[in-house]
Amino acid sequence: MDFALSSEQLEIRELALKFAKNEMIPHAQEYDEAGTFPHEIFRKAWELGLINTCIPAEYGGTGFSSVDSVIISEALAYGCMGMNTSFMANDLALLPIVIGGSHEQKKKFLEPFTQDFKIASFCLTEPGNGSDAGGIKTQIKDGGDHWIVSGEKMWITNAGYADLFVVYGTIDPNLKHKGISAIVVDPKSPGIELGKKEDKMGHRSSDTRGVRFNNVKVPKENMLGKPGEGWAIAMKTLDHSRPLVASSALGGSARALELCIQYSKERIQFGVPIAKHQAIQFMIAEMGMKVEAARLLVHKAAWLCDQGAHNTEIASYAKAFASDSCMQITTDAVQIYGGYGYSKEYPVEKLMRDAKLIQIYEGTSQIQRLVMARELLK
Amino acid sequence: MNIFVCVKQVPDTETKITPNGDGSFIETASIKWIMNPYDEFAVEQALLVKQANPAANVTVVRVGSVKDTEALRTAMAMGADEAVLVEAVDNLDSYSIAKALKGAIEKTGKKPDIILTGKQAIDDDALQVPQILAEMLNLPSVSVIVGFELAGNTVKVKREVEGGALEVYEVATPVLLAANKGLNTPRYASLPGIMKAKKKPMAQFSLADVGVSDADRRVKYSGFKLPPEKPAGKKFDATDATKQKDVVAQVVGLLRTEAKVI
Ligand SMILES: Cc1cc2nc3c(=O)[nH]c(=O)nc-3n(C[C@H](O)[C@H](O)[C@H](O)COP(=O)(O)OP(=O)(O)OC[C@H]3O[C@@H](n4cnc5c(N)ncnc54)[C@H](O)[C@@H]3O)c2cc1C
Ligand SMILES: Cc1cc2nc3c(=O)[nH]c(=O)nc-3n(C[C@H](O)[C@H](O)[C@H](O)COP(=O)(O)OP(=O)(O)OC[C@H]3O[C@@H](n4cnc5c(N)ncnc54)[C@H](O)[C@@H]3O)c2cc1C
């Protein structure tokens, strides 16, 4: 057994952390406050190869392993969880193509993302179907020489800036999971209507919108796999993407821990740095323990994915544990900062707001527990 | 065109420096090494010249320990073509380093057109290597440069002087130039760059290979220790108006005899 990162992974992490510290942290607060989309930072990250890590080398990508990509994502989320949501959404959208696309589809849809800076959205959730994704109502009908997509999507990250959508719909709602299909849609197609940007509690620099599809014509060759294979593609995508989302929570936790270590050594109360008070020490100890445990789970879930092994259970452990502990850690971080923690002048209140979302998207913490129980009791 | 960039590997600015066990140098085991920040400007300038002159070759040269080659790998990941490493202890003096750099450059068999360095290394802050190296190679040199324009065989450089004024020099190549902050914005090493760097050649020499021996040392360190901790400040109570005169006299006296600042 070997827990060490390779020298290459250490270098990758170094670069991603340097980027996070120099390019993301200085803007995180300001972009969050104003809800500014981090377009230029996103582009710079893409130029350095930090985005679209799921694209295989054969299609011009960096050909990173799942472990490599969680290392990068942790570092970028350390910079800003909100910006990283925008970055990560590209991978969430491209993964179904990597997993379920034909060679021609991969060439056609993935390669442009390696040649130019492009943005993608993953369109699964609907106003009436979130956790119950199997119940989605968006219809994909056969229009002869094309498909016709109609329905409504909700909470779609990057929607306002996307160059490509991967849309999940059903060819027949009566077929339940067996009717679900995944299709690549050009966001500029006639019949697509974007909702207004959601005014969110956290991740405010990321762009989240509803998207309506009014009888949108889509070329036949854009269907990933066969009609009805969408659910299987979505499930496999989750095995890859949950470790990634978990690593984002981990990055936020690591940042909170680092800030608290620093602040507690500087802030003097009762004549000593508050780090000398056992109550503070215990909170910091708890943070360190959870960061380390989350990292082990995230790396294991990603490593299993790289081995081609079944990782559903571990990926859910990683996603739920990393995001739940990020919520606890960032809440304690505000506590350790006292009144200052509650102010936007200091970075920890943002971490607490950002942590919340990671317990919700990509399968809520409750849904992760459903998955775990199903795996354990099967 | 042959461009050489001399880079030093220095402890990360966030590193806590402590003397080693026998006080002969600093403790290096737990240090995170980075490229000397001023050298990053030098590397970037070389890469900008290469961008404009694709035939140019950029070689990075470093003298130091071989255990960690972070600085050279970073420079190659940024885009330098090849690297030369001269193995040496990390506390070599400026004269020996300059002589080793000269030897290393000569070993490559390439005639330098432009040599770039940082204006100083942030570890020992000696500010001597660029000038000594230029002397040894019999080249003109300009240090603390913040502007660089190459036209044919002439480089127009700007250097900052006291009071924010700029001096402008036109120097014929071959030339040695030492970079200051503000010369450019160093690029990041990209991920594809990091992958490519692994396949780029890195030649390695010993000090003896490049003609440097112990006899070249001009500076010998007698020991390393932390500065003494500052004693706690003294407090004087001047709340009682009748005693204020005495307190003031006492403070002034101590400033003269103890602190010796007046
Ligand atoms: C900022 C943001 C960005 C997003 N980005 C995207 C995106 O890019 N693409 C995309 O497709 N979606 C995206 N989502 C949607 C996200 O995945 C959903 O919000 C999430 O799956 C939860 O669905 P819901 O909001 O409908 O909540 P609901 O499903 O209504 O859940 C409400 C509550 O009920 C609980 N619950 C539901 N079912 C069960 C059950 N069976 N047992 C126990 N508890 C249950 C949930 O855990 C939750 O606490 C995003 C959401 C947000 C907020
Ligand atoms: C929005 C807001 C409104 C406020 N309104 C008022 C007001 O109207 N009037 C007013 O006077 N004040 C007000 N306050 C101040 C508030 O009462 C203080 O913020 C609070 O007492 C904590 O002090 P602090 O922020 O300096 O944190 P600190 O005292 O620096 O505490 C930092 C952390 O160290 C912990 N800690 C400190 N000492 C110990 C110890 N001995 N053992 C264990 N742990 C310790 C604390 O629990 C905390 O987790 C307000 C604060 C806020 C944020």
Rounded to 5°, angle at Cα B170 from B165 and B173: 135
In angstroms, what is the C-alpha Rg of chain B?
A: 23
Within 10 angstroms of residue B130's Cβ, the number of other Cβ atoms is: 27
Concerning whether A362 is annotated as a catalytic residue, the answer is yes
In a domain, A256, yes or no: yes
- Contact status, residue B179 vs residue B45, Cβ threshold 8 Å: yes
- Which whole number is the average pLDDT over A2-31? 94
Contacts of B189 in chain A (CB under 8 A): 15
Find the range with the poorest average confidence among A184-198, B23-37, B148-162.
B23-37
In a domain, A87, yes or no: yes
With a pLDDT cut of 90, the percent of chain B lying above it is 77
Per-residue pLDDT at A55 exceeds 90 = yes
CATH number at residue A134: 2.40.110.10
Together in a domain, A237 and A348: yes
- Gap between the Cα atoms of B70 and A216, Å rounded: 53
Measured in Å, residue A282 CA sits from the centre of ligand 2 at 18
In a domain, B210, yes or no: yes
- Which whole number is the average pLDDT over A300-323? 97
The nearest CA of chain A is from the CA of B192 a distance in Å of 7
Looking at A191, A213, A228, the residue that finishes a domain is A228
User: Would you place residue A18 in the very low, low, confident or very high pLDDT band (cuts 50, 70, 90)?
Assistant: very high
User: Which domain does B247 fall in, by range?
Assistant: 232-262
Per-residue pLDDT at B260 exceeds 90 = no
Q: Which of A30, A40, A362, A375 is labelled catalytic?
A: A362
Together in a domain, A143 and A61: no
Together in a domain, A263 and A326: yes
CATH number at residue B155: 3.40.50.620
Q: Which of A264, A269, A284 to mutate to test the pocket of ligand 2 (most atoms within 8 A of CB)?
A: A269
User: Would you place residue A353 in the very low, low, confident or very high pLDDT band (cuts 50, 70, 90)?
Assistant: very high
In a domain, A140, yes or no: yes
In a domain, A319, yes or no: yes
| Predicted pLDDT at B86 | 97
Q: Which residues on neighbouring strands pair with residue A121, listed in sequence order?
A: A165
- Which whole number is the average pLDDT over A78-89? 98
Rounded to 5°, angle at Cα B125 from B122 and B131: 115
Note whether A49 contacts B: Cβ–Cβ < 8 A: yes
Note whether A63 contacts B: Cβ–Cβ < 8 A: no
- Which whole number is the average pLDDT over A24-34? 97
| Predicted pLDDT at B29 | 86
Per the structure, the count of domains in chain A is 3
| Predicted pLDDT at B132 | 98
With a pLDDT cut of 90, the percent of chain A lying above it is 98
| Predicted pLDDT at B251 | 93
Q: For B221-247, how does the pLDDT look when each residue is reduced to its tens digit (9 = 90+)?
A: 899 999 888 888 888 888 888 889 999
Chain A interface, best mutation among B191, B195, B198, by max A CB count within 10 A: B191
Within 10 angstroms of residue B31's Cβ, the number of other Cβ atoms is: 19
Mean pLDDT (chain A) is: 97
Nearest atom in ligand 1 to the alpha carbon of residue A370 is 42
- Which whole number is the average pLDDT over A36-40? 97
| Predicted pLDDT at B66 | 87
Ligand 2 pocket check for A331: Cβ under 6 Å: no
Ligand 1 pocket check for A69: Cβ under 6 Å: no
CATH number at residue A90: 1.10.540.10
Q: Is residue A307 classed exposed, middle or buried when 0-12, 13-18 and 19+ CB atoms within 10 A define those classes?
A: exposed
Note whether A47 contacts B: Cβ–Cβ < 8 A: yes
Nearest CA owner, ligand 2 atom 20: A339
Together in a domain, B131 and B241: no
Together in a domain, B194 and B238: no
- Hey, is A66 helix, strand or coil? helix
In a domain, A335, yes or no: yes
| Predicted pLDDT at B32 | 87
| Predicted pLDDT at B30 | 84
Together in a domain, B145 and B258: no
Ligand 2 pocket check for A274: Cβ under 6 Å: yes
Together in a domain, A83 and A197: no
- Gap between the Cα atoms of A187 and A207, Å rounded: 15
Find the range with the poorest average confidence among A100-109, A201-210, B24-33.
B24-33
Together in a domain, B69 and B176: yes
Looking at A51, A82, A115, the residue that finishes a domain is A115
Q: Which residues on neighbouring strands pair with residue B179, listed in sequence order?
A: B118, B145
Measured in Å, residue A117 CA sits from the centre of ligand 1 at 29
The nearest CA of chain A is from the CA of B66 a distance in Å of 15
Q: For B140-187, how does the pLDDT look when each residue is reduced to its tens digit (9 = 90+)?
A: 999 999 999 999 999 999 998 888 899 999 999 999 999 999 999 999
Ligand 2 pocket check for A6: Cβ under 6 Å: no
Together in a domain, A23 and A97: yes
Per the structure, the count of domains in chain B is 2
Together in a domain, A86 and A126: no
| Predicted pLDDT at A43 | 98
Q: For A227-279, how does the pLDDT look when each residue is reduced to its tens digit (9 = 90+)?
A: 999 999 999 999 999 999 999 999 999 999 999 999 999 999 999 999 999 99
Strands A223-224 and A192-194, how do they pair? unpaired
| Predicted pLDDT at A61 | 94
CATH number at residue A352: 1.20.140.10
Of B188, B191, B198, the CB nearest to A18: B188
| Predicted pLDDT at B261 | 87
User: Which domain does A56 fall in, by range?
Assistant: 7-115
- Gap between the Cα atoms of A184 and A95, Å rounded: 12
